Amino acid sequence: MGIHVPTHKNRQQASGKSHAGNTPFFQPALSPTTNGILQRNLQHRPDPSFRSIPQGVITRAEFDQYMMDYFGVRDIHTGTQAQQEASLTRHGRPAPTIPHWQSWDPGTASADYAHIIRAIEDVAETFGAIPTIHTVAFFKMDYDPNAAGIGIARRDVGASFGGGKLTIFEAFSRSHAFPNARSDTGGSYPSAAVVLAPAPGETPGAPVPYQSREHSLRENIAHELGHGIAEDAHRADPDVFDKFNRAIGWVGGQLFDIGQQAVADAISNGTPPPSQYRIPHDDWNNPQWIEQPMSRYAVAGGPGEDFAETIAAYVYSPAVLLQRSPERYRFITAHIGTWATQMRVLPPPVLRGDFPVNDEIRHMA
Ligand SMILES: [Zn+2]
């Protein structure tokens, strides 16, 4: 579910390509040999309409090819120690050193490559477009430089996004889940197969069910793509974060329950909202809130993390997002069309399995 921005422009471009009749219709997008021939013969990227979304174990070479062909990524690399140390350099200081640094990526072949692609495809399916991603880099873990210029490990960080660069760390499949319902005072919720011991702030409120590693991984990637969408949104509308903060109830880095009329009034009048409606991160799931955040991190991390969590929820838990956070849901729905002007339009593939879906597509080919 979700909204789809118009893709007519893209379709016209697709149908106007000169290779009609030149290429085999049944183009296995992931065959390195075929892709090589395609690129040598045609001197341009394969048509995304005919991409075949990979499943299961794929090779790193197949991953790289797909990311470049269909997502516009220009640089995919396994990071080096020198690169990571340089990335920690703060203005006017020597590059920090990282003791016992280790290289990491998912390997020469892994199902995780297909899961990463699938997360990006899920964002494309929801919005009709994906954020601008120039670079994908793999590192073992994130670091912060300390005052002595030594990189200190941040093992809880699974991925990050900044300036069009998606960085993926070994912990990127760490557990991630949204509540399965709106929190309500009656406390009756859809049953969850497995619910882990509630984290602080989770109770009272709707349960946060255990999710598979694969699903957590995809939500984590979608969260990072949310930061990417934020970058594109800011290019499309420099006031987007101010609008988000006002629409959702962020004032001075604190979250207030925008569902309360007194909070909405205070924000429009430029006066401090009533303090009893401030939502603390350790009470984020409480049924007393009218506009309910989707996670503790959405509150503790500030508006930027709230935005990224909202995008991930819009992709993977849209019905729950609408029930818990109608203002967040509305904000995305109302603005995605504007943001998409700075995103990469990516239409759904026209093939289902190995066969064309209808005559119109047969004609296009
Ligand atoms: Zn984030």
pLDDT in tens, 105-163: 999 999 999 999 999 999 999 999 999 999 999 999 999 999 888 999 999 899 999 99
**Distance in Å, CA 2 to ligand 1 centroid:** 22
- Pair 89, 95: CB distance under 8 Å: yes
pLDDT digits (tens, 9 = 90+) for 15-29: 333 333 333 334 444
**Distance in Å, CA 183 to ligand 1 centroid:** 24
User: What is the predicted pLDDT for the residue at 43?
Assistant: 52
**Distance in Å, CA 227 to ligand 1 centroid:** 7
Residue among 336, 313, 327 at smallest CA distance from 232: 336
Question: How large a percentage of the chain has pLDDT more than 90?
Answer: 70
Alpha-carbon distance 247 to 264, whole Å? Answer: 8
Average pLDDT (47-55) is 93
3-class secondary-structure state, position 150? strand
User: What is the predicted pLDDT for the residue at 15?
Assistant: 36
Termini Cα distance of the chain: 28
Provide the β-strand partners of residue 154. Answer: 142
**Distance in Å, CA 207 to ligand 1 centroid:** 22
**Distance in Å, CA 175 to ligand 1 centroid:** 14
For the chain, the domains span 8-15+22-50, 53-174, 231-343
**Distance in Å, CA 118 to ligand 1 centroid:** 19
Top-confidence residue, 141 or 350? 141
**Distance in Å, CA 219 to ligand 1 centroid:** 11
pLDDT digits (tens, 9 = 90+) for 219-252: 999 999 999 999 999 999 999 999 999 999 999 9
**Distance in Å, CA 355 to ligand 1 centroid:** 39
DSSP letter (8 states) at residue 198? P
**Distance in Å, CA 158 to ligand 1 centroid:** 9
Alpha-carbon distance 277 to 29, whole Å? Answer: 52
**Distance in Å, CA 324 to ligand 1 centroid:** 20
Task: Give the pLDDT band of residue 66 (cuts 50, 70, 90).
Answer: very high
User: What is the predicted pLDDT for the residue at 137?
Assistant: 98
**Distance in Å, CA 94 to ligand 1 centroid:** 27
**Distance in Å, CA 47 to ligand 1 centroid:** 32
Point out the least confidently predicted range of 152-161, 253-262, 353-362.
Answer: 353-362
User: What is the predicted pLDDT for the residue at 44?
Assistant: 65
**Distance in Å, CA 137 to ligand 1 centroid:** 16
Is the overall model pTM greater than 0.95, yes or no?
Answer: no
Give the per-residue SS3 of 18-71. Answer: CCCCCCCCCCCCCCHHHHHHHHHHHCCCCCHHHCCCCCCCEEHHHHHHHHHHHH
- Strand 75-78 vs strand 135-139: parallel, antiparallel, or unpaired? parallel
Alpha-carbon distance 212 to 225, whole Å? Answer: 20
